[in-house]
Every structure is written in C-alpha cells, then in structure tokens.
Amino acid sequence: MNELDRRISIAPMMDYTDRHCRYFLRLLSPDTLLYTEMLTSAALVRGDGARLLSYDQAEHPVALQLGGSDPKELALAARMGEQAGYDEINLNCGCPSDRVQSGRFGACLMGEPALVAECVSAMRAVVKVPVTVKCRIGIEPMPRAADEFEFLKQFIATVASAGCDVFVVHARKAILKGLSPKENREIPPLKYDVAVALRVEFPNLTFVLNGGIRTVEEVQRHLQTFHGVMIGREAYQNPYLLAQLQQAVFDPGWNLPTREQVIEQYADYVRSRLAEGHRLRSMVKHVQGLYAGLPRVRSWRRFISEGAGRPDAGANLLTEALRIVQAA
C-alpha cells in the first residue's frame, strides 16, 4: 500500500492547492506528491462531486484530502475519489479553524481516536488506494488530563490499528481556541523532537514530517530520519524550490527548467482552461512567487495581479510579464 514515493510532498492548502496550482507545481517537479485542498465529504457526496474532483492527468501522483467525521459519508467520498483516479485518500485531522471544528472534523478529531479509526476502516473497506491521516502532535485543550506524548501515542496507535500505516505529522500543536488558522501555523512552537520520538515508537509506520521546512538542506536533513517531508507555504511563496528538490532528492541528473520555460508551458495550460470557461485570475495568481528573491519580483507580481483584471487579458499576460524580469 506504500508504493507512492513520499519523499517530497506538497501540503493541502485551502485557497491555494487547487487544480491550477497543482498543474503549475507539477511543471517544476515531475515526482513530488501533490495534495488537493481539503474537500469535505458532504460537499462531494451531496454536491457537484464531478466538478470538485476534476483535475488534469498531468498532476499524478496526486492525493485527495477529505474532511469529515461520518464514516459512511467518508467511505462514499473516498470511493468517488478513487473512481476519479486519485492515488491516495487522506483524512484531515490537523486543521484548527473554527469553521472546521463546528463540522466536527480537522484537528479536533485527534480527541476522538476511536472515531478516526472507524472512519479510516470504513474508507479502507471500499478503496484499494492508500488511506492516510494528516494530524498535529497534539491539541490544546486536550479532552482529558493526560501526558501529551501519551495522548499522541494513543491517537497514532488507535488509528494504526484500523489499518492506517502512513501519518503526515505537522510538528506543532493545534490550539483549538483563541488562535486563527494562520496563527496556528506560526505561534505554537515546532517540536520536531516529538515527531522523531513517534518515528522511534512506531518503527513499522510511515511518517512524513510537516511544518516550517523551507530549504533543500533542511529537507535533506529531515529525510535522514523520516520517510518523507511535506512542504507547505514555502512551496507556494517560493515554488522554484520544488525544481531544486527534484534535482537534489529525486534525480541528480535532472536538468532544472528555467523559470521562463515553466511560464511558457503554464501559459499553454491557461489558454486551454480559458477556452473551457475557467477564470484567468484564478490561474495566474499561482505563479506570483516564481521569481521570489530575484530582481523586480514586485513589478512581476503587480503586473500579473493588475493585468488579470483587464477585460481583454488572456494567457499572453504571463509571457508579457516575462519582459519585466528579463529586463532585470
């Protein structure tokens, strides 16, 4: 069940890792495992599942992340995901937002390990692709007085007993009251040592580390301990990192594409999607970090952001924007 190469993956990020973003990131790395934004099981089962699950075949390998806590509904959604061709189904047990908690899914589920195990078991019963879980190293407040690491071990052990053998661990606690999702990505301290302790405690499970990882050197260091590393906001703010990781981790002989080559390829994709009725702004916003740290990046971003609103704007906006950075 662990045939996917998990050494590098991109975190599921709401409002970011939509199908257009994933296609763009794929141009930078052929082998990185991509994740969808979290899709709720209710939205898939009761809504327009075909539209929500649509993607480009070039995105493979790509995993579907689900949010929910109803085992039967999650099973239906997981089966829809497998039928749509996704390579993995991942259950969100890490998102701390109030909206997610009100729906009884996300990080608050860490307080109900038996329910998570039931959900995992229900999904595994109807799909053949891997069913995995993304979680935190803990939640606050905890539902009962307990040693923090014992709480985490119990969660992992309970869910693993249902057949889940892959855990993506964000090495921060989720503060369920008083912090926004953005603050929850920054304020709770990173505790990689807790994730390392899990790796030691459960040597037969697969652990992917997530949280605060920004450089090739950090990735290579963590890969000495973990089966994989998941990159979050850094992959969006500085996507060329993925090309560097492709060469450093997957294929030392791989020739890095130039940023200009990536934009020209993505412009072809944008042109095709515009013909299908997709909005230009929803596609070009994902490329704004491509020249991060290089001269005239602010002018690049502004040109794309302002140009996307022009009534006559099309895919050529991207190739026109190249003149700004090329002039530098």
134 is in an annotated binding site: yes
Q: Where in the chain does DSSP place strands (E)?
A: 8-10, 34-40, 62-67, 88-93, 131-140, 166-175, 206-210, 228-231
Catalytic residue selected from 95, 108, 119, 164: 95
12 is in an annotated binding site: yes
14 is in an annotated binding site: yes
CA distances, 14 to each of 128, 162, 244, 252 (Å): 26, 28, 25, 32
Q: Is 42 helix (H, G, I), strand (E, B) or coil?
A: helix
Paired residues of 228 in beta bridges: 208
C-alpha to C-alpha distance for 259 and 265, rounded to whole angstroms: 10
Taking alpha carbons only, the member of 270, 279, 271, 320 closest to residue 299 is 320
Is 95 a known active-site residue?
yes
Q: Which amino acid is at 155?
A: F
C-alpha to C-alpha distance for 163 and 123, rounded to whole angstroms: 10
C-alpha to C-alpha distance for 247 and 312, rounded to whole angstroms: 38
The DSSP secondary structure of 147-172, one letter per residue, reads -HHHHHHHHHHHHHTTT--EEEEEEE
257 is in an annotated binding site: no
Contacts for 76 with CB less than 8 Å, ≥ 6 apart: 41, 44, 45
Q: Which amino acid is at 149?
A: F
210 is in an annotated binding site: yes
212 is in an annotated binding site: yes
The DSSP secondary structure of 223-240, one letter per residue, reads TTTSSEEEE-HHHHHSTH
232 is in an annotated binding site: yes
- Specify binding-site residues for FMN: 12-14, 65, 134, 170, 210-212, 232-233
Q: Known binding site: residues?
A: 12-14, 65, 134, 170, 210-212, 232-233
Residues identified as active-site:
95
